[in-house]
Each structure stands twice: as structure tokens, then as C-alpha cells.
């Protein structure tokens, strides 16, 4: 089938481009960045390239999209044509334009959410492990209590209380995710705080912030980075589920998750268009995990396998 072939060709092209760019970087760069370029595996170069393309598309969305995000510009469910490259959706908006704007909304929100969850969760987790005692007990039991409520129901509850703006969406999902990050960071850090170099730093009179930032965090990076890749993908799922329930990204704002659902009926007619936003999510998660694997490899010092 023509579609499958073009997808395969597209992926092969991205890999080839990543290879060319890596070779280019090796010949241009010097010093530290040169050695990174030498070490980087092809998969990670591919991942970086894909992420860069997504970022460029997200930033330049208004310039790239042929039509506005929310305007009805044609009939319902039009087929792929020269004017509407990927056809139109349920109420006649241009699919390609909405895909491009979707990058901005979905990826932006997912990234902001994951980053926030990690900053809050890991700092609190490391702090709890470092301080121990009642602070650790209070934080950990509070987190246990939060985790005992099913995540989706808890998010629904919070969103109902605080309303459904993009900002509350980010804050709520980050809060729920931060509990998982907290547990991981705390567990990892508990193995680190018993090391002699932490004792040495305490004897030196270092404050908690320095200990967390310079002594513990660099050693806890590997598992945290791995978890980041995983959480990032889960956030897409959460946003899509919430959108489905009408509490996520609200129409008419373009969101990949809801675009799949809205146009799902087309699949029964053998049209692949609804799979495109899903494909965009899949490609990005694969790319992010390629990069994360590479970072994990570097952070854990596994120079060879």
C-alpha cells in the first residue's frame, strides 16, 4: 500500500538525515562537544532530529500552517487534495493545519507538565531522603495518601474544583505525576545519602540545597532521566483521556488526542487520516525514548554494553 511505503520511506529518510547530520557534527565540532558527537548512537541522533523538527514546527506553527487552527474552511470530511493536503475534519477544518497547531498545544503542555512534575517531585524526594525524620514521614505519607486515589479520578476531582484552563490542566497533571517522581527520587537518594561523600559535605557545613543540587542530584540523574522518558509518554495518555471526558484541552483548540477520537469514524471507510495524530504521538515518544536511553547510558557510565 502506498501509505505504508511512504511512512517507511519517511522514517528511512529521517534516519539518513540523522546520520548525515551526525557525520557533519563530527567533522565541524571540536573539544567536548566533538567527543559527544563521536559517542552518539544513530538512534539518539534520530531522536534528537525528530525532537528538533517537532520543536521547529511547534514554534513556527502560524507560519507553516496553510489555514487557521479553528476556522471552518471546507466541507466535512473532505478527501486529501491539492488544497487540503490531508483533507478536512468532522466540521470542515483543515487537518494539516490542526496537526501543526496540535504540536504546539499537545507537546507544549506535555513537556511543561512533565518538567514541572520532575522539578517538584525530585526536589521534594531528595529533600525527604536527605533530611529523614519527621519531614520524610510527613511528605512520604502525604504522597502515599495522594497515590491511593486513582490518578484519573483525582485529576477529575481537582479539575472540577479549579476549573479547566490550560494552566490548571498542567498543574493538576503535574501534581499527580509528581507523587510518582517523589517516590522514585526518594528511593534513589536513600542509597546515596549514606555515602561518605555526603557525610563529608555535611561535616563541611553545606546546606541542604547545595547537598541536593551538587552532591545528590548528579548521582541520581540516571534513573530520573529514564523515568522522564516514560512519564512524558504517559502524560499524552492522560491529556487524551481527560480531553475525551471533556476536561482536557477544550475544543476548538487542536489536540492530537481528541483529533483521533473526533475523526475515528473515517477508519471504517478505510481512510488513514485519523491515525496521523496518533502517529505523531508515537513518533515523538519513540524519539524521546531514544534520546533518554542514550542519556541513561552516559549517566550510568555504561560506556560499552
Partner 1 sequence: MSRDVLLKIEGLRIEGRSGDTWTEIVKGVDLTLHKGEVLGLIGESGAGKSTVGLAAMGFARDGCRITGGTIDFDGIDLRKASEKVKRDLKGARIAYVAQSAAASFNPAHRLIDQYCEAPVVHDVMSRDEAERDAIDLYRRMQLPDPDGIGFRYPHQVSGGQLQRAMTAMAMSCRPDLIIFDEPTTALDVTTQIEVLAAIRDIVRQFDTAAIYITHDLAVVAQAADRIKVLLRGEEVEEAETRRMLDAPREDYTKSLWAVRSFARPEQPAPSGQPILSVKDVTAAYGTVNVLEDVSFDIHAGRTVAVVGESGSGKSTTARVITGLLPPKRGEVLFEGSPLPPALKGRTREQLRQVQMIYQMADTALNPKLKLRELIGRPAQMYLGLQGRALTERVRDLLHLIELDPDTYIDRLPGELSGGQKQRIGIARALAAEPKLIICDEVTSALDQIVQEGILKLLDRLQREFGLAYMFITHDLATVRAIADDVVVMQRGRVIEQGPKAEMFAPPHEPYTELLLSSVPEMDPDWLTRLLAAREAGQTPATA
Footprint of partner 1 (CB under 8 A): 195-197, 199-206, 214-215, 218-219, 221, 301, 303-304
CA distances from 283 to 51, 239, 244, 254, 288 (A): 9, 17, 22, 18, 9
Cβ of residue 301: shortest distance to partner 1, in angstroms?
Answer: 7
Q: Which is nearer to partner 1, 161 or 304 (CB)?
A: 304
d(C-alpha 266, C-alpha 299), whole Å: 45
Q: How many CA atoms lie within 13 A of 113 on its CB side?
A: 30
d(C-alpha 183, C-alpha 189), whole Å: 10
Q: Which is nearer to partner 1, 72 or 201 (CB)?
A: 201
Q: Which is nearer to partner 1, 110 or 129 (CB)?
A: 129
- 3-state SS class at 197: helix
Cβ of residue 203: shortest distance to partner 1, in angstroms?
Answer: 5
Q: Which is nearer to partner 1, 197 or 209 (CB)?
A: 197
Cβ of residue 79: shortest distance to partner 1, in angstroms?
Answer: 54
Q: Which is nearer to partner 1, 202 or 261 (CB)?
A: 202
Peptide bond into 34 cis (omega under 30): no
d(C-alpha 95, C-alpha 101), whole Å: 10
Cβ of residue 201: shortest distance to partner 1, in angstroms?
Answer: 8
Cβ of residue 221: shortest distance to partner 1, in angstroms?
Answer: 8
Amino acid at each position: 500500500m502506498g501509505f505504508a511505503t511512504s511512512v517507511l520511506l519517511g522514517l528511512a529518510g529521517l534516519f539518513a538525515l540523522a546520520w548525515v547530520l551526525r557525520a557533519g557534527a563530527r567533522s565541524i565540532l571540536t573539544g567536548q562537544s566533538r567527543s559527544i558527537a563521536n559517542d552518539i548512537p544513530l538512534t539518539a541522533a534520530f531522536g534528537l532530529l525528530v525532537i528538533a523538527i517537532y520543536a521547529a514546527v511547534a514554534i513556527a506553527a502560524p507560519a507553516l500552517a496553510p489555514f487557521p487552527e479553528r476556522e471552518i474552511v471546507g466541507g466535512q470530511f473532505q478527501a486529501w487534495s491539492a488544497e487540503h493536503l490531508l483533507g478536512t475534519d468532522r466540521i470542515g477544518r483543515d487537518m494539516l493545519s490542526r496537526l501543526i497547531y496540535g504540536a504546539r498545544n499537545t507537546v507544549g503542555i506535555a513537556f511543561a507538565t512533565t518538567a514541572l512534575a520532575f522539578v517538584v517531585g525530585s526536589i521534594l524526594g531528595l529533600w525527604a531522603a536527605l533530611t529523614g525524620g519527621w519531614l520524610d514521614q510527613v511528605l512520604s505519607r502525604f504522597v502515599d495518601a495522594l497515590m491511593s486515589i486513582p490518578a484519573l479520578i483525582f485529576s477529575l476531582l481537582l479539575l472540577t474544583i479549579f476549573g479547566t484552563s490550560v494552566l490548571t490542566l498542567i498543574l493538576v497533571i503535574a501534581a499527580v505525576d509528581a507523587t510518582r517522581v517523589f517516590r522514585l527520587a526518594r528511593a534513589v537518594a536513600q542509597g546515596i545519602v549514606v555515602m561518605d561523600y555526603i557525610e563529608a559535605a555535611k561535616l563541611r557545613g553545606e546546606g541542604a540545597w547545595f547537598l541536593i543540587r551538587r552532591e545528590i542530584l548528579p548521582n541520581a540523574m540516571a534513573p530520573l532521566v529514564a523515568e522522564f522518558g516514560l512519564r512524558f509518554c504517559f502524560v499524552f495518555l492522560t491529556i487524551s483521556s481527560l480531553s475525551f471526558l471533556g476536561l482536557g484541552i477544550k475544543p476548538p483548540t487542536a489536540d492530537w488526542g481528541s483529533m483521533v477520537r473526533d475523526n475515528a469514524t473515517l477508519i471504517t471507510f478505510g481512510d488513514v487520516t485519523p491515525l496521523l495524530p496518533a502517529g505523531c504521538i508515537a513518533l515523538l515518544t519513540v524519539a524521546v525514548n531514544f534520546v533518554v536511553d542514550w542519556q541513561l547510558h552516559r549517566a550510568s557510565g555504561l560506556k560499552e554494553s
